[in-house]
Amino acid sequence: MLAKMTSKNQLTLPKSITTALGATEYFDVEVRNGQIILTPVRIQRGDAVRAKLAEPGLQEQDIADAVDWARQAPAGAKSSRR
């Protein structure tokens, strides 16, 4: 399929392509081996991300405890902290 670039560097994607992708508003664009690669990107609004993070019901103390646990040296290992 052909897509023509306008004088303003805009491309119109063929309807069959956009239909196959579904509702996509943004694309990651890169040039690889002389080809333009468009990868659909689903942007989530901040509220949606915050709601997703709130689902498990974690509190700030839960996160602090998890960070403390992750920073602990494995049993028998010498700590490099001073």
Q: Provide the pLDDT confidence category of residue 34 given band limits of 50, 70 and 90.
A: very high
Q: Is the pLDDT of residue 19 over 70?
A: yes
74 Cβ contact list (under 8 Å, min separation 6): none
Q: Provide the pLDDT confidence category of residue 1 given band limits of 50, 70 and 90.
A: confident
Q: Is the pLDDT of residue 63 over 90?
A: no
Q: Is the pLDDT of residue 81 over 90?
A: no
**Domain extents for the chain?**
11-72
55, HSE (Cβ side, Cα atoms, 13 Å): 6
Q: What is the mean pLDDT of residues 15-43?
A: 90
Q: Is the pLDDT of residue 77 over 70?
A: no
1 Cβ contact list (under 8 Å, min separation 6): 14, 16, 17
Q: Provide the pLDDT confidence category of residue 82 given band limits of 50, 70 and 90.
A: low
